[in-house]
Structure 1
Amino acid sequence: MNESNKVVSLAERSSAQLDFSPRKRKPLPSAVAVLRDKARNLLLEQTKRLFAKVDDSLFSMAERAHGQEEQDGLFQALRLLRVERRNIAERFAEKLDEAFQVKSPDQERDHNVASGDLSLVHNDDLEQLVAADTMVANAKRTYAEPLTELSLRLDTLYSVKIYEKNNPLGPDAICDAFVEAVRPLDIHIRARLTLLKKFEQVVMLQLQEFYEFCNQLLVEHGILPSLREQRRVARQQSGRSTGPSPTTGATPGAGQNQAAGQGQTGAAGAVAGGSFAPGLLPATAGLAPMPSGDLLTHLGALQSGSQYQSAAGIQLLNVSELLQQRLVQANQAASLAKVDSDIIKLVEMLFSFILEDRSLAAPLKSQLGRLQLPLLKVAIADKSFFSKGGHPARKLLNELAQTATGWQAGDNYESDPLYREISRVVDRVLSEFDRDVNIFSQLLESFREFTLRERKRAEMLERRVVDEADGRAKTHAARARVAAVMDALIAERDLPQVVHDWLHKVWNNVLFLTCVKDGTESEPWRRDVRTARDLVWSVQAPMPDSRQQLLGLLPALQERLREGVEAVSLNPFEARSLFAELKEVYRERFALAQQLIAERERLAKEQVERDMREAAAAGPAEEMDSLPQEAADDVAVPQMEELEQVVAQAEVVTEPEQEGLAPLPENDPHWQMTFRLAQGSWFELKRAEGEQFRCRLAAVIRDIERFIFVNRNGAKVEEFARLELAHALRSGRLMPLNDGMLFERALQSVIGNVRQTRNEQR
């Protein structure tokens, strides 16, 4: 099954999902059993309407899908949901029933300790986390009044304390039941998120009447029938009092609802003095979580605080501790919503990875670390931040990190242009960012303009380095390929000396120039190779049968030879001598051909006379002897296809590799790595004298198997042959740096670490 990434913030969810063994359910009070059955039926009815809406949405999404793979995934999800509706409903009902087996507070604490505050559950999709936690948080705010009443009434029926978290019909329980019901489905992530969105619209946002019904059902069973009136009177009395009293006698649930209902002003919905000690309180304290807007106000104050002004040796911030100090100083008490608490932890884990990343130099890591609070504010305000790859804040962080990968601190690094520019960007984020994320887009654009100017300067020097290496490579390759052609044409053939002179003095240079300039796949190269082949054939072709073909070839061949002489600027006197000597060879060949033709005619005439004398003879005629002809060369002149193959197989003689390096087997991982290195990848190079350099693979010169490395400014740092490179990688002298998207790497690392921790705790 393909599972998507999800970091689930509810520790109790994680604990429940780890234990799939059947449990013996405890009998429920009669009123609770009736409530369970009625509530389950109502929720199942609402869920039935959900599937019809999901069908329409998935079909529309599939028609607008950007690619065939996505469209197929959505259609497959649509078909699977139609088939699995009954099973989903059954699992949903089962999970709802399980929620009524409420755990004791001690059991809850044990589960929380075992699971941790942030745990990985079965898939790796943060979007699903955000969708689930957001719909739960919204429902808790919207239905705070009836939820509190329902918790208080159920509290009188259970032997364990009932509060918001373990309310069997609370938003947590309903959402968890549905998430678990659809978890076994192997469907596209977009389809899964659409399913959750429709569940929120059809079920979670329509719970007002449901909770009213549940409360009324318990009232009919005589469970706290006057609770609402008592709570109304308590609120009126509280409103007339001059200040909060620690001895009002209100239950934690009522106090929580009161705080939420009154919408107290001040930092993060905090309360001063009174029933709660100043500081950051746990969610179970009974205090309504501070709204996200108030939390952002606190974080904004911390962002502009003095502890964040210095960039030297910056350490990871403990945001919870800073919030605690701020609330204590203000004599206020507040608690965090679970989703906000988990986002704080997640961002801390992400920046812990960033500050430990060996791909970045320490001064620039410190600068990037200063973005912890601004990015935390972004994540609090926009819960899709972790799943939105194109978010401008993420793009800015990735761009800064990617540009910083090849940078290394010098003696006066504070004056380095890149360090100053990144410092400027970070300073502007800290001083200007409040809630408007457009500042990240503006800074990203200006930073890209800076890097473009820097890159252009470096590219000029890098181009010269690569061109020089490429020129050497083409020279070596051209010599090897021309030598292969010459060997194929001359080997084992007795050629006139003038033809040897033409090939070595003229055509060797012609082919070399053409190979360097146009390459071996070009038409000029094929034309010049054909000329060399025709020259050899012209003095090897058997006569007189090839006489007519040779007569037709010579004018064009002579013209091509003349062009070659001009191309290599051969001495005119030497050129005239070569043409004269070659002309003499052809004169002799045609004279020989004429002699052979005359001899052939004489023999033919004698054969006719012999046939006439023997015509009356009774015996069979004897076979005519073969007519005279010039003997052909034992080794045929190779065809053009054969010459092309010879060129392709030519071994390029490279520069000698470092002595003393043992050959590596083909399956050696570092030898194999040399074939997979991508141009532009960054490395850390250690030299014998202890120096360390950050360098980038600028080019791989395939013809001579050389790897060219340059620094950020485009200057050449090192050049390796393939075997040298493999040994450097194997010994750790050259170590790859991970220059992938920093935010995505950090997120992947955090998810992997949480998954490992969770597996170890099973």
Structure 2
Amino acid sequence: MSDYPPGMTKIALGASGRSDPARVLEEIKRISVELLGAVPNGLYSPVEFTLQDSSARGGATRHVELQALVKLRQQSSGFVMRYRQQIAQGFDDFRSLRIRNRGDLPLSLVAENQLAYHLAGQQLADAIETRFAPALETMGARLDKLADDLQMQPGSNPIGAGRLAGAFIETFRDAQMPHDLQPLMFRAYEQELSRVLGDLYSRINNLLATAGYGRPAQGPRPLPPTNVEVARRDQEHELVQQIRRPRVVDPAIAAQFAQLRAELHAWRQQMPEQASARDLLPRRELRNEEVASVVSLLQPESPDVFVRALGGDPGQLASAIRGHLVEGARRLGHNPEYTRMSADQDDAVDLVGMLFESLFQSYALLDHARRLYGRLVMPYVKVAMSDQGVFVQREHPARRLLDAITEACEGNAAATPQDRELIERCAAISQRIVADYQEDLAVFATAHAELETLLEQHRRRVELQEARAAKATFGRERLNEARAQADNTVHYLFNEPVTGPVGEFLAQPWRHHLVQTLLRDGPGSPAYTETLALGDSLLEADRLARTGRDGRRLADRLLSLQDAISHCLASSGLDEDAATQRLAGLISALALPDAPRNLQAVPAPVTDEEGADDASLWLAGGTDTLDHDPETAARMRRLLPGEWLRLLDPAGQAVAVKVAWISPMTGRFLLVNRRGLRVLVASAAELASLAQAGRLQVGAERAPTDEAMRHLRDRLVHAA
């Protein structure tokens, strides 16, 4: 009894000792279509990782190529069908003698923009033919004998190098493929063919030999690749495997997740509806594949039930997910009276529900973001069902995408075109995840890479906004310091009685001019010294006028001060006429010895109108009246720029804030939100008082998902 290759049906031998050539050719066709048919689906992941690696290594951002790759992936089923048709067509052509040239690349006039495409195809054909030369030579001789039995002229190999290159070109001829993406696709195609062709050519040669068309072959002996090819292939293989290999989990994080599950189980036992549901009559646990089918059924459906749950009570989202899954299972024929989810599946549902609820409780996510997050619930349930690493691995693609979306949406009221673009891009990405995610996490990585490109621009704008906020805050502090110093000086000058016009001049235009001099030139500058001298000279002139004995000396003093007084009045915004009138009134008052002279009231400090919006956050009265822990205040003083905190605003909304700047003048901390906008300026003692009141939490995680998971753990511990 003869041994036949795997998958080959027994074919009767003819009088010549060979099998029916038509049936042999049909069997070769079946095997070829079967093994080669899935090749197009293997092209996208290596290309995607090559593009991402290029960007990560500091190359140009490959946003256009990644977008085009996503569109190709969305049409993958059509490309697979077209490619299989091209492979099958090669065998039809072999029998009908349509092609009789050495290569099988289509020979026709092509446009210039397609010329590189065809040249790359020819190079691909040459590379395959060189690498698999022995196997192709053996197969060619045997196919010639087969053609002779079919009473045909020997033709080209239907699965030869040229024909396979032509099949690729015809499959993707009309695809919108950027110029820089084409060589990457050809390289991935060559790599996938190299992986498949060794087994295919071996099986076909053995089949032909068994059918009487030559001795059994020992398998192809491709020429050894060059060192450059080895290095390139190893690098590309590593990129492809990055997302598929088991991720390294920190033992401490894994232990925390085990503790998290223990706390989750303890929490679940306290829920009556959960305990009773699992204590009913024995029911079969749904397999993961069955639950995945249910989730796939529900994934494209309306997320309204999840949107409503996100705005409800804690735990409502997990209940909505579980109810939705039960209904979906019923629609697929799994009666809930006889089936149930496993403990691991229940864990995944509860953790996803709590994670999304924690994000909304921990971050200022506005109402228009609820639908976006509601749309993502089912895809993340599917991820959690098969890969619970999403809860413990910070570099997990699905987790990184959720972090990026939260960063883009937090506090985003779509008030500017840039903010609207972020929201719209996140919405489009959530729709793409729903449409494309099956089992391959690469869709999350691609979406994250796309959103990260836009977020980098956003972060640069945030940095500029933070710098402007710091500059404005420092300017306000310098202004307040200058005003306080000017008030002290005026208070000192008002220790003796002066005429009303002199006091009014010192309290208003001179005080304002002193503040401006301190800001522009600083204390100790010549301008500052001259301004102080003007105040002293006016007091001296008032003393001379009060005695009425030395009119000439008084007149000389006023004449010497005229320019300085005019300059001081001009700095207050008075025009020449108003300044002249003010100067005349001042001189007239000093010319009257009997004018009343009284102690002047110290002017009230000028309020900072620009900082009025911070009134509810600034704690008045100085640090003496603040109720705070000195140790907490000392801890606050150790905060550094870039550290994240959690703050409850006056409305009770949790806001992620960052220490953007520390004042070198007052030591106050400028806290900004993720959009770079000022939220609070406070001293260490004020921050300590807020922490004691439960309004401030130090040590918040930078990544939103990390912070949400911490909030989730705290919630479980508190409930237990």
Higher Cα Rg: structure 1 or 2? Answer: 1
> TM-score under structure 2 normalisation?
0.36
> TM-score under structure 1 normalisation?
0.34
